[in-house]
Amino acid sequence: MDFKKILTFSFDDGVKQDERFIEILNKYGLKCTFNLNSELLGKDGYLTIKGKKIEHNKVAPDKVKALYKGHEVASHTLTHPNITTLAPSEVVRQVEMDRINLSNIVGYEVKGFAYPCGGINSNRVVADLIKNNSGIEYARTIVHSYGFAPQDDMFLFKPSLSLTKNKQQLLDMADEFLNSETEDLKLFYIWGHSYELDIDDSWDYFEDVCKMLSNKKDVMYCTNKEAFDYINKIK
């Protein structure tokens, strides 16, 4: 069957909350790409968000392969710097060494990437460095497209929307995605961090989103790489 609607998730940092997140994804048959920092695996930490201490403990390297089985592991740099501030050789090292480390851990060739850090964390210069000097095939920004159209620039790829930035807007987009008749290819691409669900205890909201989007005969549920491979094949 030729699908016109594709759903994929992209979640960053490889935190231990991914275990709970994946349980919910798996319950509803949804697929995600997880962007990991290989030199931070196994390290503990926390973030203070909205005055609340949020655990930011990373999955141990020996747990990565089993935890993310059935989903996709992708690169997020070795140590999570803002790569727009780095020398070109260090940009390439941060991306390509992470890609190689993660490929060795998971046992397949890692091809995806998500830019780390907030603010302005990507630009044409670093996108071209990655495109021309690594084995990466696509790189995701944190700039929202607020839409479903497949994009031409695979090294400054824009997600549709974050899971938690504006929950009503995400639910409205999910409704539009599911209920529109479409001849054009539609890619609904949701990004975020599983630890964000701890901030306002939004785990029930996440399960509602999964439930709403799951089990539709006309939707292809896949990882980022599967989504992009499919789009490239049929376009």
Of 112 and 116, which has the nearer Cβ to Zn ion?
116
Least distance to Zn ion from the beta carbon of 80, Å?
6
| Single-letter amino acid code for the residue at 218 | D
What binding mask, one character per residue, do residues 9-28 give for Zn ion by CB under 5 A, x or -?
A: ---xx---------------
DSSP letters of the chain? Answer: ---SEEEEEEEES-BTTHHHHHHHHHHTT--EEEEE-TTTTT---EEEETTEEEE-PBPPHHHHHHHTTTSEEEE--SS---GGGS-HHHHHHHHHHHHHHHHHHHTS---EEE--SSSS---HHHHHHHHHHSS--EEE-S----S----S-TTSB--SEESSS-HHHHHHHHHHHHH---SS-EEEEEEE-TTHHHHTT-HHHHHHHHHHHSS-TTEEE--HHHHHHHHHHH-
In this structure, how many other beta carbons lie within 10 angstroms of the beta carbon of residue 113? 28
Q: 161 or 213, CB closer to Zn ion?
A: 161
Residue nearest to Zn ion (CB): 12
Nearest residue (CB) to Zn ion, 11 versus 221: 11
For Zn ion, the binding residues in 116-155 under the rule CB under 5 A are 116
When asked if residue 196 is in the footprint of Zn ion (CB under 5 A), the reply is: no
The distance of closest approach from Cβ of residue 13 to Zn ion in the complex, given in angstroms and rounded to an integer, is: 4
The nearer residue to Zn ion, 13 or 72, going by C-beta atoms, is 13
Supply the minimum distance, in Å, between the C-beta of residue 77 and Zn ion: 9
Q: Identify any residues that bridge with 186 across adjacent strands, giving them in sequence order.
A: 5
Q: Provide, rounded to whole angstroms, the least separation between the CB of residue 58 and Zn ion.
A: 11
Name the segment binding Zn ion (CB under 5 A); options: 8-16, 141-149, 151-159, 215-223.
Answer: 8-16
Residue 116 or 159: the one with the smaller Cβ distance to Zn ion is: 116
Please give the size of the binding site for Zn ion, defined by CB under 5 A: 3
Residues 99-118 that bind Zn ion (CB under 5 A): 116
Shortest Å distance, C-beta 142 to Zn ion: 9
Residues lying near Zn ion in the complex (CB under 5 A): 12-13, 116
